Amino acid sequence: MLTVRNLELHYGGIAALRGISIDVQKGETVLLVGANGAGKSSLINAVIGLVASSQGVMSFNGKDITRASCDARARAGIGYSPEGRRVFPTMSVRDNVLSGACRRGAVLQRDAWQWLCGIFPLLSERSEHPAGQLSGGQQQVVAIARAMASSPKLLLLDEPFLGLAPVWIARISEAIRHMQSRGTTILMTEQMARPALKLATRGYVVRGGEIRRSGSIEEIREVALAEEYL
Ligand code: ATP
């Protein structure tokens, strides 16, 4: 579904990605694990089109997306939840979530909202609250629900569990399992990999802007353990 070949990305003179290649097949949940500054967010941001690569090729469902706009990638079915609980702070919880479904018709938006409220009761309880007034865990739920509301074919989750209490980790894990059971393909990153290892089917270890290892989730768990990502 997603193919990335020899991707290079620079911020000014700093090389953040140095010839990265990954594949994500339909229906998989693939984990990118690595320390702070390894290049995980840069790779996710390159896939959604927020940053431009200097070299390399990316394709999604057989179409070259290397120079496609963010908007075109979203329309093609790539959804994105950024690192760090980025919500629209003054917009209500409901409007935040539905902004993810804004291209869908009113009926589909209502269905998406009801489906997400079933997974996260918090959304209906706080639907008219400004999202910026919620706790960190609650804001992360809103950001993930917004990405899910677009019913993406490929869902990019950048550090969905970072800094969250166990109760929120459990809820978000449950929502990710829902997306998996609907056939959604997922590419996620984690610095502290423990909860993500329970969800992913395969993974890559990223270090210094390169893929250092790829393998089954059991192999990635071993590396994560040795390199203290757990
Ligand atoms: P983290 O978990 O901290 O987000 P990461 O693995 O996602 O780490 P990146 O954020 O992709 O790593 O960073 C990769 C490298 O690029 C780091 O050296 C970082 O300092 C650098 N970098 C990231 N964003 C920028 C930016 N906007 N401008 C300059 N350098 C950046």
Domains of the chain by start residue, with CATH: 2-227 (3.40.50.300)
Report which protein residue has its CA nearest ligand 1's atom 29: 11
Percentage of the chain beyond pLDDT 70 is 95
Q: Which atom of ligand 1 is nearest to the CA of 206?
A: 6
Residue 4 structure tokens? 């990335």
Report which protein residue has its CA nearest ligand 1's atom 14: 39
- What is the layout of strands, in order, in the sheet containing 202-207? 78-81, 154-158, 185-190, 29-33, 202-207, 210-216
- pTM, two decimals, is 0.92
This complex has an ipTM of 0.93
For residue 229, pLDDT over 70 is answered with: no
Helix (H, G, I), strand (E, B) or coil at 55: strand
Residue 219 structure tokens? 């192999």
Rounded to the nearest angstrom, the distance between the alpha carbon of 40 and the centre of ligand 1 is 8
Instruction: Give residue-wise pLDDT tens across range 163-191.
Output: 888 988 998 998 899 889 989 999 999 98
CA distance 137 to 163: 8
Burial 85-99 (b: 16+ CB within 10 A, else e): bebeeebbbbbbbbe
What percent helix, strand, coil does the chain show, rounded to 5?
A: 40, 30, 35
Instruction: Evaluate: CB of 152 within 6 angstroms of ligand 1.
Output: no
DSSP bridge pairs for 3: 23, 59
Instruction: Name the nearest CA neighbour of 51 among 2, 8, 84.
Output: 8
By most ligand atoms within 8 Å of CB, the mutation choice from 8, 42, 81, 158 for ligand 1 is 42
Residue 68 φ/ψ, nearest 5 degrees: -70, 150
CA distance 26 to 77: 12
CA distance 38 to 16: 8
Q: Which atom of ligand 1 is nearest to the CA of 43?
A: 11
More confident residue, 193 or 172: 172
Instruction: Evaluate: CB of 16 within 6 angstroms of ligand 1.
Output: yes
Angle at 82 between CA 80 and CA 84, to 5 degrees: 160
User: CA 103, 107, 111, 114 torsion: positive or negative?
Assistant: positive
Burial, 121: exposed, middle or buried (Cβ in 10 Å; 0-12, 13-18, 19+)? exposed
Instruction: Evaluate: CB of 83 within 6 angstroms of ligand 1.
Output: yes
Q: Angle, nearest 10°, between helix axes 106-119 and 166-181?
A: 130
**Helix H or strand E segment including 117:** helix 106-119
pLDDT at residue number 107:
62
Q: Which atom of ligand 1 is nearest to the CA of 159?
A: 2
Question: pLDDT averaged over the chain?
Answer: 91
What type of residue sits at position 107? V
pLDDT at residue number 230:
61
Neighbours of 160 (CB within 10 A): 28
pLDDT at residue number 151:
86
